[in-house]
Amino acid sequence: MNLSMDEYTAFIFDLDGCIYSGNTVYPAAKELLDSLMRAGKHVLFLSNNSWQTSDTIRKKLLSMGLPVERAPILATTELVGQYLMDKYGALQLQAVGSEELKKCLQQVGHRVFPLGSQEKCDVLVVGLDQSFTYQKLCDCSQKLAIGGKLVVTNLDFYHPGEGGHRIPETGAFVEAIKAVAGISEVESIGKPAAYSFEMITKQIAVGPEACVMVGDNPYTDMQGAHAAGMFTVWISHGNKFPRDAKCKPDIVVNTIGELLDGLMNSNKR
């Protein structure tokens, strides 16, 4: 494996499918994080999770025994509100998603009205909604049909759950909303969009050329990091890299344990 720990300052990890699956930590994940931190590397997490805040995610990771007390965690739950503020200023919004998402939007300075409200709102924000319904689909499509802007946390169709089962994600709902509303334009801020990668490098004030992105999703982790100018490591879990992906990873490993072994061997040379 042609990757030396000494060559890079920061190691950025996806979460679902990379560090853990559901509530199970992948073997060697803790050892890898410990090794990088002992070597003085920046360890960060960049997730398209729009259901939970970074604080909630951190508590989960700590409960799994992972050393993340001070590691930056960026999730689209919080990023989307900041993105809207940076680009448009304070807005009146309607939102589909978790209560944590709605609170994050309010905390940044936006006003959030209930879905289907008659209040004038220029933007509909869509994140993962585990109670998505037919009525919500109707309300979203009606809002967009009269000219509202659609901004979404991420476009993933699913994320991996326990045992490799596919868990529906934001992108699945977005496709239904777009189809019913008859629209094609959507702004997404999660991976592979540039905004997520710009924000993660700002956390540590280093350039993308000093960063390694480790993830399992060819279309979000690998594509976004490649476009940002980062070194990419794809965890394949034994799968073949898809032919329709827009870029190839710099390194392919089957498991996070294989990445740990490769880094440790490189460090001994």
Mean predicted lDDT score pLDDT of the chain: 93
CB atoms within 10 A of CB 48: 32
Q: How many residues in total does the chain contain?
A: 269
- Taking the C-alpha atoms of residue 6 and residue 159, their distance in angstroms, rounded to an integer, is 32
From first CA to last CA, the distance across the chain in angstroms is: 12
pLDDT of residue 86: 95
User: In this predicted structure, what is the pLDDT of residue 159?
Assistant: 77
Question: Helix (H, G, I), strand (E, B), or coil: what is residue 37?
Answer: helix
**Burial of 216 by CB count in 10 Å (0-12 exposed, 13-18 middle, 19+ buried)?**
buried
Q: What is the pLDDT of residue 145?
A: 85
pLDDT for 267 beyond 70: no
Region 100-105 average pLDDT: 97
Residue range 106-114: average pLDDT?
96
Determine phi and psi for 221, rounding to 5 degrees: -65, -55
Q: Is 90 exceeded by the pLDDT of residue 186?
A: yes
Question: Using one digit for the tens of pLDDT, what is the confidence trace for 21-75?
Answer: 888 899 999 999 999 999 999 999 999 999 999 999 999 999 999 999 999 999 9
Q: Is the pLDDT of residue 213 over 70?
A: yes
Question: Can you give the pLDDT at residue 269?
Answer: 53
Q: Is the pLDDT of residue 116 over 90?
A: no
Average pLDDT over residues 129-150: 92
DSSP state of 148: P
**Torsions phi, psi for 130 (to 5 deg):** -80, 0
Cα(154)–Cα(171) distance, rounded to whole angstroms? 6
Helix (H, G, I), strand (E, B) or coil at 145: helix
Q: What is the mean pLDDT of residues 8-32?
A: 93
SS3 annotation, 105-142 = HHHHCCEEECCCCCCCCCEEEECCCCCCCHHHHHHHHH
pLDDT digit string (tens) for 224-241? 999 999 999 999 998 999
pLDDT at 2 over 80: no
* Amino acid at the residue 203: Q
Q: How many CB atoms lie within 10 A of CB 111?
A: 12
**pLDDT tens for residues 145-177?**
888 899 999 999 987 766 667 889 999 999 999
Q: What percent of the chain has pLDDT over 90?
A: 81
Place 3 in a pLDDT band, splitting at 50, 70 and 90: confident
In this predicted structure, what is the pLDDT of residue 222? 97
What CA–CA distance (Å, rounded) separates 13 from 20?
A: 11
Nearest to 152 by CA among 181, 123, 179: 123
Cβ atoms within 10 Å, residue 16: 21
What pLDDT score was predicted for residue 264?
84
pLDDT of 39 reads: 93
Cis peptide before 192 (omega within 30 of 0): yes
Distances, alpha carbon 173 to alpha carbons 137, 150, 188, 221, 227, in Å: 8, 12, 13, 21, 26
Q: How far apart are CA 65 and CA 154, in angstroms?
A: 28
* Residue 19 scores a pLDDT above 80: yes
